[in-house]
Structures are given as C-alpha cells and as structure tokens.
Structure 1
Amino acid sequence: MKLLVLGGSGFVGGAVVAEAIHRGWAVTAFNRGRHGAPPAGVRHLLGDRTAADGLAALAEGEWDLVVDTWDGAPRAAQATARMLAERAGHYVYVSSGSVYARPVPAGVTEQAPLVTAGPDDIDDDYPTLKAGAERALRAVLGDRVLLARAGLILGPGEDIGRLPWWLNRLARGGDVLAPGPADLPVQYVDVRDLAAFLLDAGAAGRAGAVNVVSRPGHTTMGELLTVGVTATGADARLRWAEPEQLLAAGVEPWNDLPIWIPPGHEYRWMQQMDVTRAYAGGLSCRPVTETVVDTWAWLRRVGSVPARAGRPARQPVGLDPDREAALLAALTTDRPPPVPSR
C-alpha cells in the first residue's frame, strides 16, 4: 500500500505513520517540517497548506490511501482534496466528535446534526473547522472519504497532556484529589488503536461518518487512576471527592481535572458516544493498563509533553498544586471547598 499522510508529525499523524511502517507500507508524509524529520524510510514532502503555493510538493505522485489530520481552514482541506482527487484511491479524514451540534444527546450517533459550517470557511472555532472540512471533503470526494469522528484520544505521544498530567501528579505522591464517583465510566481511544482502525478502514474503502472511540465504560475514573498509581510506583493516595463538592468549588471538568466529565454535565455525552458502526467495522481497543503503562514509559523517556504540531500553544491542563492542596484541606476538615476568585 502506498500511503500519504497529510501531517504525520503530530500525535495522531505520528501514530498513523508508525503503524503504516510496521505494516511495511510505502509512506509519504506532507507537512511544514516544523516538528522534526519523519522516521527513516518515510518520504518527506514539505509544504504549507495555508500558503498560496503551499501544495506544490503534491503536484505529482499517486497513493492508494490518504490520511488527513487537518484542523485548520476548511478551504485548505478542500484545495488539497481537489489536487489529489484523481491520484488517490481512498481518503480518510481524522475529524472529531466535537462536530455535533449542541445540545448533544447521550448515545449520539453519526446521524446527529452537525454545527453550522461552510466548506469555504477560513477561520472559526475547532468544531466548526472540523465540520467545515467534512463538508468540503464530501463535496469533492463523495463516497471515497471516511470521516473518522474521534473521541478522547490518549496514549504515548499525547500533545495535550491530559493523561500525562495525571501520571505526573500521581508520581509526585501524597494525597491526590480524585474526582468522583470512582465508578464513573470513561470512554476514550488509544491513539495506536485509532491509527490501526484508520488504516484498516481506509484500505477496505469504508466511507461515511463513524464515531471512533472505545465503548462507553471501557474503563472508569477509579480504574484509570488506580492503574496510574501502580504504573508510576508512587506513594500516592487517592482522595475521592463528590462531583457536587468539586463543582461548587469552581473546579472545571475536563480542564482542571482532565478526562473527568461528571454525571449531568453538558459535555457528558463526550464519553457516551454510540460506537456500533466503529466496532462493526473492526475497531479493537486495548486494555487501559496498556495505555497507562506505555504512556508513562514514553513520558519518562521524553521528559515533557511535546508542543502540538502546527498549532499555537494552549493553556496547560490540570489543577495548580496550591489550589489542589486547598481543596484537599477542605475535604479533610469538612469545611466548604474554597471558590477561586475570578
């Protein structure tokens, strides 16, 4: 198989390249070259999709499959697809569950309405950019494009830092503020399982939209953090707090305490997505222990979470240590948790 990865140096793109190399495929990566060279044996094409002549390096060549990780202007996705339409057998676009229009119901399927977005848009928020790119690619490629709407993505190489934040926090030991309930179901996909699915589905010519994430309840907050304690080997003690306590103290789910989305929260659907189509199409998700252990091994090797390829720096995730300490103290004394000043 001849594969073209549009991106290839970031979290998901890097995993796709690695999986394709493992399969013995002929891999070409097209990107701006700002995050290092691709692995040995990968053909590297340089270009900037936001520049007037940025696609020149793609003017020649044919590929059996294209995997596109773009999250910028839909117009750029559209221009790339038009250039490659006659020279690519099939196309896979790494989209996101964020494309669904609010309010999103629990168990959301691929048929749910999307946020309003245009294929010619040049700037907007993340959900709109992804939805606009989906429209652009459908218009150009029709039934030759698979729209992989990924949910929460974890695993080695994570460049947002959600699971790495938890692992670093657990490694420091001591009392750790753990957001309850401990049996809260968590739905995510390991980036390596996502990459394997993208290549399998692309090679099979699957098309249309598909939610790509584990089944709801693949793990729980309790299991995830307990496995993290074991993996880091730290003397960490999980101190569970009820969601109501944390929310009353102004703790923001997903950002202050990564991965956690409590029951009843407006974004709880993000860990309750319907994945019938993905599993029917061959998605397989490894145990949470493997994801956590491998992420910790990778994090110790690289030292810190890498910058996000091609994207501006974002505010770090996770609670400030002083704020966590104050919340833990409030739990110990049964005092009302402190509300941060705004």
Structure 2
Amino acid sequence: MKVLFIGGTGNISSASSRLAVEKGMELFLLNRGNSKTTINGATPIIGDITKPETLTELKKHEWDVVVNWIAFTPQDIERDLALFKGKTKQYIFISSASCYQTPLSYPVITESTPVSNNLWDYSHNKILCEQRLQKAYTAEGFPMTIVRPSLTYDTVIPVAIGGFDKYNIVDRIKKGKEIIVHGDGTSLWTVTHADDFAKGFIGLLGLTQAIGHPFHITSDEVLSWNMIYKILADAVGKEAKVVHIASDFICKVAPSFTGTLLADKAESVLFDNTKIKTFVPGFKATIPFAEGIKRTLKWLEENPAKQHIDAETEADIEAVLKAYRALG
C-alpha cells in the first residue's frame, strides 16, 4: 500500500508513521525537512504543502492513501482537493474531538454526537473543514475519512494548564510552586498515548468501509483531572501543590486559557469507542497514563531543548493565582 503522510513526524503522527512502516506500508513523508525526527523505512519528500511550487516531486505520484496531519482551515482542504482529487483512493483528514458539541447535552460521545464549537477558532475551523469534505464526498464522491483525536500525547504533557508543548507544569511541580487544577478536579477526561492511537488509526488506512465515515480513537481509561495531575506529579517524583479554581474565573483573568478549558476540558467527557473497534477489530488501548507519562518525561529529560518554559503562560498562571488569593 502506497501511503503519503503530510507531516508525519509530530507528537501524534510519529507513532503512526513508525507503525505504518512496521506493517509493511510504502510510506512517504511530505515535509519541509526541518524536523529532527527520523522515521526509518519511510521515504522523505521535501516540500511545503502551502507552496505548490515546491511540490514537483509530489505531483508525480498516485496514492492508495493520503493523510493530512496539518490541515487546519477550509483553505487547506480546498488546496488538498485540488491536489489529490483523482490521485488517491482515500484521503484522511485529522480533525479534533474538540469539535463535538460544546457544551455537551449528553456526556457520552459517539461519532453521531453533533459537532458544534464556537468557543475556539481551532475547533470551529476543523468543523468547517469536515463540512467541506462531507460536501466533496456527497457531491463528487471524494473518498474521505475523518479522524478525531482527543488529548493524545507522546512528546507533550497532556494537561489543561501549563502543559502540552510547554514544560511549565513540570517545572512548577519540581520547584514546589502551586499549580492550577480547573474546577474541583473531579470532572472526567481521557488521555491517549500516541502508540495506542496508532493501533486504531493504521487499521483505517486503505479500509474501503471507512470511506465517508468519521471516527474518534481514544483510550478507554477514564480519569478525573485530580488523578491526571496526581499521576503526573508522582511521575515527576514530587507532591503537587494544587489550587482548585473555577474554569470561568480562570478564563476571565487569563482569556488565553479559554480554548483549552471552556471550549474543551471544563466538563466531563466519556468516549464510546465502539465504532473504531467495529471497523478495526482487535483495537485496544493498552498504555495507562501512569506508564505513558513516564515515557514522555523520560523523552523530555533526554531532549532538554524541548523543555520550553513559556513566559506568557507562566505570567497567566501567576495572574490567576494572585486574583484568586485576592478573593480572600
């Protein structure tokens, strides 16, 4: 199977790239050549998907599957439709589970849960991308599949405040500084290791039955945010000094947290993975967060350049803590 990944060396996609090669797929990676991540067995194509003049080599090929890991706007989809219509048997768009109805009318999410999120431009644009692809599928038979990851991690810290591609949360725990947990910490969430995500995702590649369908792919492990932060702190080897603060208050003081909180992680979410397990029999997530986060922290220790402490995020955390203390 001849597969093109646009991207393919990021936090989520690297694991899928490695597994695709392991499964014997003929994998090509289109990127600008700036990533230091190497996928042994994959063939690089150097080019910038946003600059058609750099895609001479790409245009020579036809594909069984094209996956765009880095499409974020309807303009990106229009470009891909022009590039790959008639050139691929399947096009997979990496969307986001944050597209699901916000706030939820029912906490258990299936692929039939409505997509509607106007609180975060990122999510709203992903929804517009999905709608354009659905139109292309319905009207023109464009062979698309939509995949919606939730909070998926490998080389990032999957927490709501001070994490992801920032090292602030770990630095604060190490230094004994207070950390913020939104609400009372009892709302439920699911974090998924990229290696587990890859097991379900690779099963969709070349799967004719998946054409026209959306899928989310997550772990079945459900944790409270209190447990997520405690497991992280235990992996760091320190006790976390937790301050619980309402999400509305956090976002009022620091609007930069609105997307990740009010538009995504402020309420309990439970994912029903029946559909991916039906289409990809045998899919099962097997990496608990307590194990996966140790892998992530080890990787960060081995790659100190990735231990980015963001000054603006740190200032926002301190501003929220100061405003909360002022309440008395």
Which amino acid in 2 is paired with 1:181? D
Residues in 1 aligned to 2:49 and 2:6: alpha-carbon distance in whole angstroms:
10
Q: What does residue 57 of structure 2 align with?
A: 57
Q: 1:316 to 1:50 in 2, by over 3 A?
A: same
Aligned partner of 1:131 among 124, 127, 130: 127
Could you tell me the percent identity over the aligned residues?
A: 19
Unaligned stretches of 5+ residues in structure 1: 118-123, 308-313, 328-335
Unaligned stretches of 5+ residues in structure 2: none
Verify the 8 A CA contact 1:108 1:269 in the aligned structure 2. no
Deviation at 1:140, TM superposition (A): 3.9
Q: 1:157 to 1:3 in 2, by over 3 A?
A: farther
Q: Secondary structure at the match of 1:189?
A: strand
Q: What does residue 337 of structure 1 align with?
A: 325
Q: Secondary structure at the match of 2:257?
A: coil
Which amino acid in 2 is paired with 1:126? Y
Verify the 8 A CA contact 1:153 1:191 in the aligned structure 2. yes
Q: Secondary structure at the match of 1:131?
A: helix
Would you say 1:225 and 2:229 are equivalent positions?
yes
Verify the 8 A CA contact 1:75 1:136 in the aligned structure 2. no
Which amino acid in 2 is paired with 1:277? K
CA offsets 1:9-33 (integer angstroms, 9 cap, x no match) = 3222323222223334321011223
Residues in 2 aligned to 1:174 and 1:317: alpha-carbon distance in whole angstroms:
14
Q: What does residue 76 of structure 2 align with?
A: 76
Q: Which shows bigger deviation, 239-248 or 15-24?
A: 239-248
Would you say 1:200 and 2:203 are equivalent positions?
yes
Q: What does residue 213 of structure 1 align with?
A: 218
Superposition CA RMSD, Å: 4.0
Q: 1:133 to 1:180 in 2, by over 3 A?
A: closer
Residues in 2 aligned to 1:251 and 1:305: alpha-carbon distance in whole angstroms:
28
Deviation at 1:298, TM superposition (A): 0.9
Residues in 1 aligned to 2:312 and 2:196: alpha-carbon distance in whole angstroms:
26
Deviation at 1:219, TM superposition (A): 1.9
Q: 1:200 to 1:173 in 2, by over 3 A?
A: same
Q: 1:4 to 1:303 in 2, by over 3 A?
A: same
Report the number of matched residues.
312
Deviation at 1:186, TM superposition (A): 1.9
Q: Which shows bigger deviation, 9-18 or 191-200?
A: 9-18
Which amino acid in 2 is paired with 1:276? T
Q: Which shows bigger deviation, 4-13 or 83-92?
A: 83-92
Q: What does residue 276 of structure 2 align with?
A: 278
Residues in 2 aligned to 1:319 and 1:271: alpha-carbon distance in whole angstroms:
29
Residues in 2 aligned to 1:317 and 1:222: alpha-carbon distance in whole angstroms:
21
Residues in 1 aligned to 2:84 and 2:36: alpha-carbon distance in whole angstroms:
25
Residues in 2 aligned to 1:58 and 1:89: alpha-carbon distance in whole angstroms:
16
Q: What does residue 187 of structure 2 align with?
A: 184
- Describe how 1:281-300 pairs up with structure 2 within 5 A: 281-282=279-280, 283-285=283-285, 286-300=287-301
Residues in 2 aligned to 1:249 and 1:90: alpha-carbon distance in whole angstroms:
40
Deviation at 1:190, TM superposition (A): 1.7
When the two structures are superposed, what TM-score results if normalisation uses the length of structure 1?
0.73
Deviation at 1:248, TM superposition (A): 7.6
Verify the 8 A CA contact 2:182 2:266 in the aligned structure 1. no
Residues in 2 aligned to 1:14 and 1:175: alpha-carbon distance in whole angstroms:
33
Q: Secondary structure at the match of 1:45?
A: strand
Q: What does residue 333 of structure 1 align with?
A: none
Would you say 1:42 and 2:42 are equivalent positions?
yes
Verify the 8 A CA contact 1:255 1:318 in the aligned structure 2. no
Verify the 8 A CA contact 1:188 1:271 in the aligned structure 2. no
- Describe how 1:23-172 pairs up with structure 2 within 5 A: 23-36=23-36, 38-100=38-100, 102-105=102-105, 106-115=107-116, 125-141=121-137, 142=141, 144-157=143-156, 161-162=163-164, 164-172=167-175
Which amino acid in 1 is paired with 2:288? P
Which amino acid in 1 is paired with 2:149? A
Residues in 2 aligned to 1:317 and 1:154: alpha-carbon distance in whole angstroms:
20
Verify the 8 A CA contact 1:231 1:293 in the aligned structure 2. yes
Q: Secondary structure at the match of 1:337?
A: helix
Q: 1:115 to 1:185 in 2, by over 3 A?
A: closer
Name the structure where helix makes up a greater proportion of residues.
2
Q: 1:323 to 1:102 in 2, by over 3 A?
A: closer
Residues in 2 aligned to 1:101 and 1:161: alpha-carbon distance in whole angstroms:
24
Verify the 8 A CA contact 1:7 1:70 in the aligned structure 2. yes
Residues in 2 aligned to 1:320 and 1:172: alpha-carbon distance in whole angstroms:
18
Residues in 1 aligned to 2:39 and 2:8: alpha-carbon distance in whole angstroms:
10
- Describe how 1:4-23 pairs up with structure 2 within 5 A: 4-23=4-23
